Amino acid sequence: MSARDEMLARIRRARGDASEGPPVPGSYRVAGEHAPGSDAVVAQLVDRLEDYRATVVRAGGDDVAIGAAVAAALAGRGIHEVVHAPGVPDAWVRGVHVARSDDGTASARDLDAVPAVVTGSVAAVSETGTIALDGGPLCGRRALSLVPDTHVCVVRVQDVVQTVPEGLGRLDPTRPTTLISGPSATSDIELSRVEGVHGPRTLVVVLAG
Amino acid sequence: MSTFLGMPQGRVPGPAADTAVGQLTGDRPFPAAARDALGNTQLRRNLAHATSTIRAKRAAVVGEVPDWEALREAGSAIKADTMARLPELLEQLEANVTARGGTVHWARDAAEANRIVLDLVRATGENEVVKVKSMATQEIGLNEALEGAGITAHETDLAELIVQLGHDKPSHILVPAIHRGRSEIREIFAREMPGVDPGLTDEPAVLAAAARTHLREVFLRAKVAVSGANFGVAETGTLTVVESEGNGRMCLTLPETLITVMGIEKVVPTWRDLEVFLQLLPRSSTGERMNPYTSSWAGVTPGDGPQEFHLVLLDNGRTRALADDLGRTALHCIRCSACLNVCPVYERTGGHAYGSVYPGPIGAVLTPFLTGITGGSDPNDSLPYASSLCGACYDVCPVKINIPDLLVELRAEHTEAHAARHRLPTSEAAAMKAAAWVMADPKRFARVGRAATRGRHGIRQGKPVLPLPPPLSGWTASRDVPSPPAETFRDWWARTRGDRP
Ligand code: SF4
């Protein structure tokens, strides 16, 4: 018998008759009390992100205003070169001296030589300070938002929801998804949180709208 | 064939995990190992500091969730439903992973899982792999198996790196180097990390930066990664890894080949189920509202991440636990480690004393359910006794595993296994039987009480003055004997209130 058939047979013998568990109680909160994009959820998202030591920059909702905020955030860190997700509008990176669109050919080593990356995002959860990237054109492939040491991530206020269920409900589970809650961190030394390990050590969130 | 007390008629347990492969058992029973740990004051200081930090953080972030109890109920019910539908869900997971370009392998035990992974690595022609911290691969001893075949396994989680460089063993399921303080970690890095800055301080941020520099080159060149998985979604074929440092993202994203080893109990029915677990897990484990990074992927995505993906589904004793009503609930564990952090026994002994990769309250039940209780000299037989049954673990468990109940059942099972094997009851069982006989008759009870008061001079500071004969010696080996009072309660009552009804 193959390992597969034997394991399935073992499970069936061990399980007995039951082929359905108890009903799952749906009494937990799915939607929050605040509407997506409302002032309350945006304020909460800012609070949570800053608690994780991410930098939050507010900007207007139009591409030019976003571009100005991105340029200012990078210049303030002495960064003049970025790579960006292919779907990022030109206007978002117009103020950066060297801005290259990712065409998928750069190796991890190439990306390691670039100081910063600019991407968009597809959803954010205010209660947990979480931003979702789905590997689509606006967010780029996963390596892009991972290897450069500074990640500038644009979050549109209309994409900000209050709860985890609302946030996951906006995602397609078949896409390669990354949920980001603050910069890379570790709790491995004496269980105290320290920011800055293997992922980007600096996370700048441009909150647009 | 093994049977359990809580096993309903008609269920047949799968085989026990082989303790000779991997890391499910230590070389000494818990009391002996614990005694050494208790003598190490540095260890106890590190553990007390770390567990009290994390307890406070957890309590704060759990307290701010208004529907925490409802989430626990849902988490528990989803897991119960999963166990009831396990074969169908695994077949569904397999079908969806395969449809999206992945390959699914089935491993009956640790040796088979190691062989599958080794063959897959060999097929790539590589001689090194990067690893994300994974309990399943520690359980099966994958690193040792790879190393034996000349393949270097780089642990990339900071705590695992501390353990690996310190030639040490993990002592906690979430923070494997919890037994080390910052100055010890600095010493290990200064001694073992090639090219490390000699001016290294013991600031956690500085130590984390040293690990980043050390591992970056490894990530950039690695062609093969091995990971575990926190969840596998049957409905969509999505695998999920929850982490903090970004080493997980590196391993899941940069290499060409990804091999994920997942226990069969980690499957969940639907993507929506994650909305429950992604709330329960981070708050219970690191005491954060959300962990920094959670990665999900389904099969292979052209142009993004590894183009070859293998999922290895592992039994290794899980179908043994599944046959038992309580053992099955031990499989609900999402490895948050909250039960370790609140356990008064764990806080004092640390994780090494448990021998298994699964320490603390959950380890004390999960390990014996996977490996079986022998009633002989197996060190795992002692694990169900590594608890005061205070119940703190049950209170914090995000999926409501009733660990104290499981411990009690395993103790009963051990008593029976011991009796069957030795034709002699354990000292505890003999004592209980004697007590039952005495208490069954009021006159007998009074007589024995009076006799005991005469024995009180034989006990000093909780220990008998003269060694007791077996089985009484077995009882007093790990327990103090209270000094009997000069007068029994019955005699005192008769003397002082004898005239009243
Ligand atoms: S038994 Fe419960 S508390 Fe302990 S690690 Fe597992 S899920 Fe967490």
Q: How far is A72 from chain B (nearest CA, A)?
A: 25
The reply to whether A105 touches chain B by the CB within 8 Å rule is no
b/e map B355-377, b = 16+ CB within 10 Å: bbbbbbbbbbbbbbbbbbbbbee
What domains lie within chain A, and their CATH numbers? 34-208 (3.40.50.10420)
User: What pLDDT, on the 0 to 100 scale, is given for residue B500?
Assistant: 64
Cβ atoms within 10 Å, residue A35: 13
Contact B85/A185, CB-based, under 8 Å?
no
B266 Cα to the center of ligand 1, angstroms: 13
> Chain centroid to CA B398: how far?
15
Strands (E), chain A: 55-59, 81-84, 98-101, 116-119, 123-125, 130-133, 150-156, 160-161, 177-180, 185-186, 194-195, 202-208
Q: How far is B487 from chain A (nearest CA, A)?
A: 51
- Between positions 32 and 91 of B, the ones with CB within 8 A of A are 46, 49-51, 53-54, 57, 66-67, 70-71, 73-74, 77-78, 80-88, 90-91
Q: Whose CA is nearest to atom 3 of ligand 1?
A: B397
The reply to whether B209 touches chain A by the CB within 8 Å rule is yes
The SS3 call for residue B378 is coil
Q: Whose CA is nearest to atom 4 of ligand 1?
A: B339
The SS3 call for residue A58 is strand
Signed CA dihedral, B57, B60, B64, B70: sign only: positive
The SS3 call for residue A40 is helix
HSE toward the beta carbon, residue A173, CA cutoff 13 A: 21
Q: Which two tokens stand for residue A79?
A: 């960064």
The reply to whether A1 touches chain B by the CB within 8 Å rule is no
Q: Is the CB of B174 under 6 A from ligand 1?
A: no
Q: How far is A194 from chain B (nearest CA, A)?
A: 6
CB B403 within 8 A of CB B386: no
Task: Look up the pTM and report it.
Answer: 0.90
Which among B328, B335, B342 is the best mutation to test ligand 1's pocket, defined by most ligand atoms within 8 Å of the CB? Answer: B335
User: What pLDDT, on the 0 to 100 scale, is given for residue A39?
Assistant: 97
Q: How far is B239 from chain A (nearest CA, A)?
A: 9
Q: Is the CB of B365 under 6 A from ligand 1?
A: no
Could you give the dihedral angle defined by the CA atoms of residues B488, B490, B491 and B495, in that order, rounded to the nearest 10 degrees? 140
DSSP one-letter string for A59-75: E-SSHHHHHHHHHHHHH
What ranges do the domains of chain B cover?
30-38+325-421, 41-318, 427-497
Q: Give which of B53, B55, B112, B254 to mutate to test A binding, by max A Cβ within 10 Å.
A: B254
Of B81, B274, B278, the CB nearest to A20: B81
The reply to whether B302 touches chain A by the CB within 8 Å rule is no
Instruction: Note down pLDDT in tens along chain B; length 501 residues.
Output: 455 667 777 889 999 998 889 899 888 899 888 888 888 888 888 889 889 999 999 999 999 999 999 999 999 999 999 999 999 999 999 999 999 999 999 999 999 999 999 999 999 999 999 999 899 999 999 999 999 999 999 999 999 899 989 998 888 888 888 889 899 999 999 999 988 888 899 998 899 989 999 999 999 999 999 999 999 999 999 999 999 999 999 999 999 999 999 999 999 999 999 999 999 999 999 999 999 999 999 999 999 999 999 999 999 999 999 999 899 999 999 999 999 999 999 999 888 888 888 999 999 999 999 998 888 778 888 888 888 889 999 999 999 999 999 999 889 888 888 888 887 666 667 777 777 788 888 888 888 777 777 766 766 666 666 666 666 666 666 666 677 788 888 888 888 887 665
Q: What is the pLDDT of residues A10-65, one digit of tens each?
A: 999 998 776 677 788 878 999 999 999 999 999 999 999 999 999 999 999 999 99
User: Taking the domain B41-318, which CATH number applies?
Assistant: 3.40.50.10420
Q: Which residues, in sequence order, are CB contacts of B172 under 8 Å at separation 6+?
A: B178, B179, B337, B340, B351, B359, B360
Signed CA dihedral, B415, B418, B420, B426: sign only: negative
Q: Give which of B2, B184, B297 to mutate to test A binding, by max A Cβ within 10 Å.
A: B297
Chain A residues within 8 A of B84 when measuring between CB atoms = 15, 18-21
On whether the B30-38+325-421 domain is CATH 1.10.1060, my answer is yes
